[in-house]
Amino acid sequence: PLGICGSALVDIIAILHRQGLINDAGYMKEAVMITQGISIYPEDVRQVQLAKAAIMAGIDVLLDEAGLTYDDIDKFYIAGGFGNHLNLDNSSYIGLIPEGIKDRVTLVGNTSLGGATRYLLEEKGEVEMMAIRDKCAYIELSTHMKFTEMYIMGMGFGGKI
């Protein structure tokens, strides 16, 4: 192997945290060799920590803007190649996926190609896409006060969100 995919990195971080090699704040004293030629470094852990904090903060802001809570979510879809291979237990353990909705998550894989195909080839594809577009609203997360607050709070590991 030449490297580790993103979903495997989530699993490794969860395992290293459970073993005490990464603390709740994300501190990792030194690199850990996973297999010959592949190690996990503190910088790798930090990058996952920043990404998962941003994802959680974004979810919290969107729910707040919609006046909803996690209890209001019936289905939580995760799209994309990365999301298609996530271990939901490890993902919720490190706080990438909210623990309270783990049982409502559906991994749907790479959906962009399917959506583009429907738009181009189905008779009502464009109408359906425009209806979805018209229901959407843009929210600028980078300047949203709650995003910054939730981002900082979402940095911990071990389900400590």
Q: What is the pLDDT along the chain (161 residues), one digit of tens a residue?
A: 678 888 999 999 999 999 999 999 999 999 999 988 899 999 999 999 999 999 999 999 999 999 999 999 999 999 988 888 899 999 999 999 988 899 999 999 888 888 899 889 998 989 999 999 999 999 999 899 999 999 999 898 864 43
For residue 40, which of 68, 19, 54, 60 has the smallest C-alpha distance?
A: 19
Residue 129's identity, in one-letter code, is: M
pLDDT value of residue 100: 84
pLDDT digits (tens, 9 = 90+) for 106-120: 999 888 888 899 889
Predicted TM-score (pTM) of this structure: 0.84
pLDDT value of residue 1: 61
